Structure 1
């Protein structure tokens, strides 16, 4: 990622950070008295159309300042983050989840991005970032408690290409648990991952993608399992899961998808699919032996997907511009690897 690209991504993030409308709140209302504006419900994460997009928009800004500390945008972004990541606001965000009807709010996609943000702050050797990390603790600890309560009850994985999908959040939470040294959460996530996916074989690649996917459930699964298994076990697991990958036979998974209308909020998901496929393939390749023939297959396809996805990060349409830059930064900034 170049500093010029980073500046463009920062501009997209700042354009949506305080944009309260249009907004998709996703709240469960128990009565007329529960009607509130997005800012009243979420004093920190009210912009970017929805809560999870606001969360990963904040994560993106943290990540970019961490990667480019001397960039021209750094001081301006730091000032904005210091104001937005307030102790009171983050306490209110945590308290929102304590209401019974809100315990499943943003489960688990939004939780995963919030814990990715918590990890980014915790691992940044920067005085100001450590202050933000401490302010973030109430929300971080609340989401960890919700996850550790929910995961043992989750009997089946969710295999789709958008928010409810379970392999992506499991992978993000695993990165978080290892990054902060939470062994209990780490062990729970490994147990769930092995139970859900450990015996999967002959993944039906011809069934992907669906029409509004921004994830490949198959590639997300493999990107999770390379975190769970050691190299030898993962290479054997992948051989059973995608048995002809080394021969460049993986259904539609290796071919970037086209976006017919970037102004359509669902169709633009496919631009995110190109980006997330790319980072998943790069992650999978990184876990294989250097001489494994699947590495070159994955790297060529990842490069094609990356180019196709980056072409639609900035289109002039808020439907994609409120979130796609975060996916681009996750990919180009090598997050998760």
Structure 2
């Protein structure tokens, strides 16, 4: 399956309809008193839409990525105009100041942190605009928090939701490769310590409201850190030799897409499609690579019809579908490592 202009335009129209939609909104705010009560758009004048802060961030990542991939589509001009109106130094300064509140230490950690860095990385690909320059102070603020967080994170968080450590580090590592050698080293060191000796995974997946696979998200991260000669035997010992992927890793069923938590499962199909393709590409000529690609295609096909249609899913699912599409296109480029390669 490939990303066509028709699909890109559908995703773009959907994201344009929610990144500036203020309500409904699920706030992640620690209140210090009655005087601290304010509408989300005052605390977050950039990322006040899309139901919650982190979804708004990666909704913007979706829009900028689609603008880059399809600059001639009609929605590209609308994306640029809204970004100019939204990514102003004044509004970004308010977002940045929010982080200085002592109560904001855990704000959007680590999922929102990682997506903000990924958004900044994408903004840098738009040389005709200064969006990256405006976003950089905010990106630097989040990036500088990651080493300290890893210092106190004794154990990886392996749930399949926003707190998942591996997913956040995968996105953040791409940003660090370009911007922060200290963070890059911290991520690689921490990940090796957390996952390099793991083997024989037998976890009960999927969880009922997960949008990430705990084991595949860890494998995705390690595929970026380990050389192929290390990664292939590590993955064999983790999930291939015991048959976990072949036995357990099939597209999941979503019973109620109007329920925001249950709708997470469409995201699980999409994130698995992304992870499986990247892992297969890392394996190269390994006998399991074709099986992983086949499973990736099945997961993407199961979720793609449901990316839009209900707000509880469509305010975020296009981002994960786009990651899967980008991985599929990268698989056709020998030597490509990033799902967000140009």
TM-score exceeds 0.5: yes
Map 1:59-78 onto structure 2 (within 5 A): 59-78=61-80
In structure 2, distance between residues paired with 1:301 and 1:327: 16
1:171–1:249 distance in 2 versus 1, CA, 3 Å: closer
Is the Cα–Cα contact under 8 Å of residues 159 and 214 in structure 2 kept in the other structure? yes
Q: Deviations over 1:138-169 (max 9, x none)?
A: 10111011112211121110010101110000
Equivalent position of 1:195 in the other structure: 193
Secondary structure in 2 aligned to 1:17? coil
1:249–1:118 distance in 2 versus 1, CA, 3 Å: closer
Equivalent position of 2:240 in the other structure: 243
Gap regions ≥5 residues in structure 2: 328-338
Please report how far the alpha carbon of residue 2 of structure 1 lies from its aligned counterpart in structure 2 after TM superposition: 0.5
Gap regions ≥5 residues in structure 1: none
Map 1:1-337 onto structure 2 (within 5 A): 1-122=3-124, 124=125, 126-128=127-129, 131-178=130-177, 180-205=178-203, 207-244=204-241, 250-253=246-249, 255-290=250-285, 292-315=286-309, 317-334=310-327, 335-336=339-340
In structure 2, distance between residues paired with 1:234 and 1:92: 43
In structure 1, distance between residues paired with 2:227 and 2:282: 9
Task: Provide TM-score, normalisation by structure 2.
Answer: 0.93
In structure 1, distance between residues paired with 2:280 and 2:322: 19
Please report how far the alpha carbon of residue 251 of structure 1 lies from its aligned counterpart in structure 2 after TM superposition: 3.7
Please report how far the alpha carbon of residue 181 of structure 1 lies from its aligned counterpart in structure 2 after TM superposition: 4.0
Secondary structure in 1 aligned to 2:18? helix
In structure 2, distance between residues paired with 1:208 and 1:248: 10
Secondary structure in 1 aligned to 2:193? helix
In structure 2, distance between residues paired with 1:217 and 1:125: 33
Task: Provide TM-score, normalisation by structure 1.
Answer: 0.94
In structure 1, distance between residues paired with 2:156 and 2:191: 9
Is the Cα–Cα contact under 8 Å of residues 172 and 336 in structure 1 kept in the other structure? no
In structure 2, distance between residues paired with 1:11 and 1:125: 20
Please report how far the alpha carbon of residue 69 of structure 1 lies from its aligned counterpart in structure 2 after TM superposition: 1.3
Is the Cα–Cα contact under 8 Å of residues 244 and 250 in structure 1 kept in the other structure? no
In structure 2, distance between residues paired with 1:319 and 1:110: 18
Equivalent position of 2:331 in the other structure: none
Secondary structure in 2 aligned to 1:232? helix
Please report how far the alpha carbon of residue 125 of structure 1 lies from its aligned counterpart in structure 2 after TM superposition: 5.3
Q: Deviations over 1:7-34 (max 9, x none)?
A: 0001110111221111101100011111
Please report how far the alpha carbon of residue 252 of structure 1 lies from its aligned counterpart in structure 2 after TM superposition: 2.0
Secondary structure in 2 aligned to 1:223? helix
Is the Cα–Cα contact under 8 Å of residues 248 and 297 in structure 1 kept in the other structure? no
In structure 2, distance between residues paired with 1:132 and 1:193: 31
In structure 1, distance between residues paired with 2:73 and 2:198: 45
In structure 2, distance between residues paired with 1:39 and 1:249: 43
Is the Cα–Cα contact under 8 Å of residues 58 and 115 in structure 2 kept in the other structure? yes
Q: How large is the RMSD of aligned CA atoms in angstroms?
A: 1.3
Please report how far the alpha carbon of residue 328 of structure 1 lies from its aligned counterpart in structure 2 after TM superposition: 1.1
In structure 2, distance between residues paired with 1:144 and 1:72: 34
